[in-house]
């Protein structure tokens, strides 16, 4: 039994139980003590009707925090129901990178209405973050940074910090900047806490950490955080001036979305929510089915060229799906290897030739093995060794094609700026279907005339 209570935190389990038994007053009583993340999780793990019930039970003050923890599509769904003034009231409570994230996804007209209902101060606070696209370092950063000068002593820094009532989230380091606001280095809080109070920032700071350029892609930002186990990283403009700071919590979202994206898109799903209602889901899926119907008709029209041969040797109709299917499977393996390596940033001119060559060799080898096996199976099944030889030949041709297409398609699509996870699979199986049917039936037509 897949059950939320098997693993979830006690707080989540309690509310899930109350929801199941329909005890809404109990749910309402538990919610105020729950973390925004847990509430957001409960909402996202509920069907649409329950989501609205949960949302309506929230305290007014909880709304902003919960909204901020929700997946983008669910968050936008709730926001769409609110007036611009209500949205404005919510977003002023959020970090500027989260606000940029929200406003980037709304229609421009609505964004303008929301910005209009803000005070000038708030509008200015969001301006820097809004000036970068979502998928680069500038769009992920918060401008809420804590900076210090290199000539201070630890003692002075500690006193300076104590003047704050709160420090920015995930402050693992203070950022050291020059008088011109240029990035100089980082002073880890860990260092600050154990250092001699009279030591200077200049002596104790770490200068070997390269800052992130504001235009670095979100994917590369995620990879650098992963590789170096960062908690936060400074972001600079082209002149080296500090403009913000990215924290691991936003990077974790990028990592999750990036990995999930390939999976969803390869199945023709888009990045959407699992609980989209029927009438919205059906048309979204229909588009993908339409594309695949066209490619299936293309493959069928290849078969139709050989109707006379099939009429003579009907065993061809029995065997031809096997040739096509083996090519599709082998090609999908090569394709997925390349798509994964791309996501990990492992593709470069030193590795791509190596990988394409490896894929071709692997499919050639597997082509030989399975050609041999299918030759035996076919000869035995239909008592026809010519047919055995024909299918063996077709399998070798199709698996070799699968390896070449599976490995080179993602590289080609990437250069054409087309998402390989989206288009790769359809193009690949079209190629392996067409080549598989053509090789098998074409050769049969030659032999059986």
- Cβ closest to its own copies, residue 9 vs residue 131: 9
| 268 vs 405: CA distance, rounded Å | 20
**For the chain, what's the residue count?**
449
Per CB under 8 A, which of residues 187..226 are in contact with its own copies?
A: 189-190, 193-195, 208, 210, 216-217, 219-220, 223-226
Region for 108 from its dihedrals, namely left if φ exceeds 0, alpha if ψ lies in -120 to 50, beta otherwise: alpha
311 binds its own copies (CB under 8 A): yes
- Cβ closest to its own copies, residue 114 vs residue 235: 235
| Binding residue (CB under 8 A) for its own copies from 79, 184, 214, 322 | 322
61 binds its own copies (CB under 8 A): no
| Binding residue (CB under 8 A) for its own copies from 142, 143, 171, 432 | 171
| 14 vs 71: CA distance, rounded Å | 23
CB 139 within 8 A of CB 104: yes
| Binding residue (CB under 8 A) for its own copies from 106, 115, 130, 255 | 255
Q: Please, what is the minimum distance in Å from the beta carbon of residue 117 to its own copies?
A: 28
19 binds its own copies (CB under 8 A): yes
Determine the distance from the C-alpha atom of residue 255 to the mean position of all C-alpha atoms in its chain, rounded to a whole number: 6
| Binding residue (CB under 8 A) for its own copies from 67, 335, 394, 431 | 335
Segment 421-426 long-range contacts (CB within 8 Å, at least 24 positions apart)? 421/261, 421/262, 421/265, 421/266, 421/339, 422/265, 422/266, 422/268, 424/266, 424/335, 424/339, 425/266, 425/332, 425/335, 426/291, 426/292, 426/295
| Binding residue (CB under 8 A) for its own copies from 83, 119, 207, 351 | 351
- Cβ closest to its own copies, residue 127 vs residue 361: 361
Quick note: the x/- pattern for its own copies over 258-297, rule CB under 8 A, is: -xx-xxx-xxxx----xx-xx--xx--xx-xxx-xx--xx
Q: Please, what is the minimum distance in Å from the beta carbon of residue 151 to its own copies?
A: 20
11 binds its own copies (CB under 8 A): yes
Q: How many CB atoms lie within 10 A of CB 107?
A: 9
Per CB under 8 A, which of residues 358..397 are in contact with its own copies?
A: 358, 361-362, 365-366, 369-370, 373-374, 377
Q: Please, what is the minimum distance in Å from the beta carbon of residue 112 to its own copies?
A: 30
- Cβ closest to its own copies, residue 127 vs residue 190: 190
Sole window of 36-44, 56-64, 80-88, 109-117 interacting with its own copies (rule: CB under 8 A)? 36-44
Q: How many CB atoms lie within 10 A of CB 28?
A: 17
Q: Please, what is the minimum distance in Å from the beta carbon of residue 386 to its own copies?
A: 18
Q: How many CB atoms lie within 10 A of CB 116?
A: 11
| 91 vs 435: CA distance, rounded Å | 55
Q: Please, what is the minimum distance in Å from the beta carbon of residue 178 to its own copies?
A: 20
| Binding residue (CB under 8 A) for its own copies from 102, 118, 339, 443 | 339
Per CB under 8 A, which of residues 72..131 are in contact with its own copies?
A: none
2 binds its own copies (CB under 8 A): yes
| Binding residue (CB under 8 A) for its own copies from 15, 63, 66, 69 | 69
How would you label 87-105 residue by residue, b for 16+ Cβ within 10 Å and e otherwise? bbbbbbebbbbbbbbbbbe
Distances (CA, A) of 142 to 78, 96, 165, 242, 254: 24, 6, 19, 11, 15
CB 214 within 8 A of CB 235: yes
- Cβ closest to its own copies, residue 374 vs residue 409: 374
Sheet with 212-213, strands from edge to edge, namely 212-213, 232-236, 242-247
How buried is 60 (Cβ within 10 angstroms: 0-12 exposed, 13-18 middle, 19+ buried)?
A: exposed
Sole window of 90-98, 175-183, 236-244, 333-341 interacting with its own copies (rule: CB under 8 A)? 333-341
């Amino acid at each position: 039994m897949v059950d939320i209570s098997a693993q979830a935190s006690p707080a989540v389990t309690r509310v899930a139980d109350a929801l199941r038994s329909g005890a809404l007053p109990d749910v309402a009583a538990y919610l105020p003590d729950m973390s925004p993340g847990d509430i957001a999780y409960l909402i996202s793990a509920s069907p649409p009707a329950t989501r609205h019930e949960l949302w309506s039970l929230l305290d007014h003050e909880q709304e902003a925090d919960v909204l901020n923890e929700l997946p983008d599509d669910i968050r936008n769904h709730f926001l769409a129901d609110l007036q611009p003034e209500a949205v404005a009231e919510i977003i002023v409570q959020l970090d500027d990178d989260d606000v940029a994230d929200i406003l980037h996804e709304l229609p421009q007209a609505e964004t303008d209405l929301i910005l209009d209902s803000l005070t000038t101060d708030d509008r200015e606070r969001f301006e820097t973050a809004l000036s970068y696209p979502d998928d680069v370092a500038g769009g992920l950063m918060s401008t809420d940074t804590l900076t210090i000068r290199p000539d201070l002593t630890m003692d002075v820094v500690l006193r300076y910090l104590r003047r704050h009532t709160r420090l920015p989230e995930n402050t693992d380091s203070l950022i050291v900047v020059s008088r011109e606001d240029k990035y100089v280095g980082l002073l880890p809080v860990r260092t600050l806490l154990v250092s001699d109070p009279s030591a200077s920032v200049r002596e104790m700071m770490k200068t070997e950490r390269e800052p992130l350029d504001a235009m670095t892609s979100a994917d590369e930002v995620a990879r650098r955080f992963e590789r170096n186990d960062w908690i936060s990283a400074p972001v600079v403009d082209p002149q080296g001036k500090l403009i913000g700071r990215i924290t691991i919590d936003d990077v974790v979202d990028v990592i999750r979305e990036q990995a999930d994206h390939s999976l969803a898109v390869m199945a023709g799903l888009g990045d959407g929510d699992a609980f989209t209602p029927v009438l919205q889901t059906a048309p979204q899926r229909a588009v993908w089915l339409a594309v695949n119907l066209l490619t299936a008709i293309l493959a069928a029209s290849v078969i139709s060229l050989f109707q006379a041969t099939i009429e003579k040797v009907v065993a061809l109709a029995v065997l031809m799906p096997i040739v096509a299917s083996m090519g599709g499977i082998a090609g999908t393996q090569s394709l997925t290897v390349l798509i994964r390596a791309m996501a990990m940033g492992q593709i470069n001119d030193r590795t791509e030739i190596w990988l394409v060559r490896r894929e071709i060799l692997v499919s050639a080898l597997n082509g030989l093995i399975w050609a041999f096996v299918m030759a035996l199976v076919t000869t035995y099944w239909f008592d026809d060794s010519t047919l055995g030889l024909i299918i063996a030949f077709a399998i070798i041709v199709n698996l070799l094609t699968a390896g070449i297409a599976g490995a080179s398609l993602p590289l080609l699509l990437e250069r054409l700026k087309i998402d390989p996870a989206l288009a790769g699979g359809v193009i690949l199986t079209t190629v392996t279907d067409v080549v598989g049917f053509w090789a098998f039936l074409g050769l049969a037509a030659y032999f059986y005339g």
